[in-house]
């Protein structure tokens, strides 16, 4: 990975937003916020929607850096990161490999399990394994309630909380609309938490934990972005010891995946024994007015505009091309 100091007087920054994923609308909102923040700091920043323009236009139009405000497929999964590597344009967030692994919840679980990071028990079914008999066995394997989700989507898209075995078929049908593979996960009853991480290498640090209180314990797509029914607590109200342990675990999970720049981990704190379980790592978290990274950053004394500038200054490349001109 190569990082470098950004001369803002010479930089021309593309805020990548929109894109082709199921999270396009949220990405447009994130991108609009980031764009306004960077411009308010005097950055020569412009909106760029990869769904409307070829990425090669970035080079032709003289962009020197990219702030990735894309969410989901093609923006958070290593695809656009790989293109930016080839173009030699430093970008915010994790590199190609970490982005690809973190976007795939099955692969994330495999890495975390190997590194002894606690994550809920799960059953993964490839398309050829999704027989009625295999699906019918899952409630007995994981217990009820359980979560059925597509392994490569974000923002809780396609996710169902199954409380009765009779709901499995409908839950599977919804999840497989978004992904051919299927992930069924043990439901951990307890506090829902999220914890952002910023930095790379030895400079990684966790920001304050946010505790989420959603109606009926379901923090779904609608509650995340379109209602005010969810209560967010930051400071979290957890004991200092518990908060610090969660932050330690989240940094370990971030490093295990090879993340850099920034990210946000989702965690469940089991009610019966207070044990934390990592659910996923978001490598291009939301930056809307409902988003949790800005909320946590504010609690740490970092306002939205300064946060966006801090993230931009972390823009980097995995492998600069020999002879490539860097800003």
23 is catalytic: yes
- As a whole number of angstroms, the distance between CA 94 and CA 150 comes to 22
Measured in residues, the chain has a length of 327
Residue 209 DSSP class:
-
85 is catalytic: no
56 is catalytic: no
Kindly name the residue from 264, 296, 304, 318 that is annotated as catalytic. Answer: 264
Kindly name the residue from 77, 192, 220, 266 that is annotated as catalytic. Answer: 266
Q: Beta strand 182-186 with 146-149: parallel, antiparallel or unpaired?
A: antiparallel
153 is catalytic: no
Kindly name the residue from 72, 95, 190, 286 that is annotated as catalytic. Answer: 286
248 is catalytic: no
Kindly name the residue from 23, 76, 104, 186 that is annotated as catalytic. Answer: 23
Kindly name the residue from 178, 219, 225, 304 that is annotated as catalytic. Answer: 225
Kindly name the residue from 30, 94, 155, 296 that is annotated as catalytic. Answer: 155
221 class by beta-carbon count within 10 Å (0-12 exposed, 13-18 middle, 19+ buried) = middle
- As a whole number of angstroms, the distance between CA 311 and CA 31 comes to 13
76 is catalytic: no
Rg of the chain in Å (alpha carbons): 20
Kindly name the residue from 280, 284, 291, 304 that is annotated as catalytic. Answer: 280
User: What are the strands, taking DSSP E only, across 126-207?
Assistant: 146-149, 160-162, 182-186, 190-198, 205-206
Is it true that the peptide bond before 145 is cis, omega within 30 degrees of 0? yes
Active site residues: 23, 155, 225, 264, 266, 280, 282, 286
């Amino acid at each position: 990975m190569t990082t470098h100091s950004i001369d803002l007087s010479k930089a021309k920054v593309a805020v990548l937003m929109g894109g082709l994923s199921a999270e396009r609308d949220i990405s447009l909102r994130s991108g609009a916020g980031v764009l306004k923040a960077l411009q308010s700091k005097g950055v020569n920043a412009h909106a760029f929607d990869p769904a409307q323009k070829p990425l090669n236009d970035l080079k032709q139009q003289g962009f020197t850096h990219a702030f990735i405000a894309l969410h989901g497929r093609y923006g958070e999964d290593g695809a656009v990161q790989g293109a930016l590597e080839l173009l030699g344009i430093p970008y915010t967030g994790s590199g190609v490999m970490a982005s690809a692994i973190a976007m795939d919840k099955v692969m994330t679980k495999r890495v975390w399990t190997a590194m002894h990071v606690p994550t809920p028990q799960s059953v993964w079914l490839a398309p050829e394994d999704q027989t009625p008999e295999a699906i019918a066995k899952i409630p007995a394997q994981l217990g009820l309630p359980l979560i059925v989700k597509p392994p490569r989507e974000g923002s809780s898209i396609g996710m169902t909380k199954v409380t009765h075995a009779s709901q499995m078929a409908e839950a599977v049908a919804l999840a497989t609309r978004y992904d051919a593979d299927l992930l069924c996960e043990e439901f951990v009853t307890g506090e829902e938490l999220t914890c952002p991480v910023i930095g790379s290498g030895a400079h990684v640090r966790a920001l304050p934990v946010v505790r989420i209180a959603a109606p009926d314990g379901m923090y779904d797509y609608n509650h995340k972005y379109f209602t005010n029914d969810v209560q967010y607590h930051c400071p979290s109200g957890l004991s200092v010891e518990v908060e610090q342990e969660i932050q330690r675990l989240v940094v370990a999970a971030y490093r295990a995946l090879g993340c850099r720049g920034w990210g946000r981990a989702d965690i469940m704190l089991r009610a019966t024994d207070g044990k934390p379980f990592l659910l996923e790592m978001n490598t291009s978290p939301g930056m809307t007015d409902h988003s949790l990274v800005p909320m946590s950053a504010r609690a740490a004394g970092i306002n939205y505009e300064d946060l966006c500038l801090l993230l931009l200054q972390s823009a980097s490349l995995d492998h600069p091309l020999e002879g490539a001109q860097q800003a």
